[in-house]
Amino acid sequence: MAAPLKKLTSIVQKASAKHTATVIFIHGLGDSGAGWAPVGEQLGEVLPHVKFIFPNAPSMPVTLNYGMKMPSWYDIKELSSINQEQDEDGMLKSRQQLMQIVREEVEENGIPANRIVVGGFSQGCVMGLLTGLTSEYKFAGIVSFSGYMPLHNKIMNMATDANRKTPILWGHGDADQVVNYDYGVQSVELLKKNKFNVKFNTYRNMGHGSCPQEIRDLLAFLKETIPPTADAATA
C-alpha cells in the first residue's frame, strides 16, 4: 500500500473580513510561497473577504539545473521546446497534494469550489492549469502567469468538463527569457481550440516576472470572479 502523500506547507493570509472566497497561488521553480505573499497582502487590502494560500513546493533535484536540489513541483529536463518531455509522475503527485488544499477549503472550511481561484506563476502556472483543467470541482477562475500547458499531448483527454467555461486569465511577457512567450501563445491557442474560456494578456518588454499592470489585471479578475457576497458585505 502506497504511503499517504505528505501534506504541503503554505504561507496563509487569512481574510480580514468574513471569509467567503479563497485564492490558491502556486509559486515557480526555486521559489517559495513567501515569494508571492506580498502580492496577497496587497490584494487583500482590496479583497478583505478573500483568504490567500501560497503553497510551498518540496525540494528535489532538478535536471535543468544540473541536478541541484531546490523547491520544485516536478523535474524539468529542458525548456528549449514546448514539445519537451515532461515529468508526468512528478506533476500528478504535486497535483494530488494541491488538491488536498482544495478539498480542505471545501470540506473543512466551507468554501464552495466556485468561490476558489487556483493558479500560479511559471512552474506554478503549469500546476494551476493541471489542477484546474482535470478537477471535478468547478472553480471560480484559473490564473496562468508566464507558463505553458502541462502534458500538452494528453491534457485535453485528461480535462473534465467542470471548468470548460471557467474564466482563465493568462498573462505573459513578450521579453520572457525563461519560458518563451510563444509557449504561452501556443498554450492559449490550444485552450481556445478546445473551447476553454481564456483571456490572454501580453505585457510589452516584460521578462520572466510580473509587473504592476499584471497585478492590476489580476485584481480586476478576482473582483469579477470572486466578488464579495451579500453577507460578507454586511458582516
Catalytic residue among 27, 146, 208, 210: 208
Q: Is the dihedral of CA 74, 122, 10, 118 positive or negative?
A: negative
Long-range CB contacts for residues 81-90, cutoff 8 Å, separation at least 24? 82/148, 82/149, 82/152, 82/180, 82/182, 82/183, 82/186, 82/187, 83/152, 86/150, 86/151, 88/151, 90/60
Residue 19: active-site member = no
- C-alpha cell read off for 232: 460578507
How do 50-55 and 21-26 pair as beta strands?
parallel
**122 catalytically annotated:** yes
Residues 94, 122, 144, 146: which is the catalytic one? 122
Known active-site residue 231: no
Catalytic residue among 176, 187, 210, 217: 176
**What is the rounded distance in angstroms from the CA atom of residue 172 to the CA atom of residue 34?**
22
Catalytic center residues = 122, 176, 208
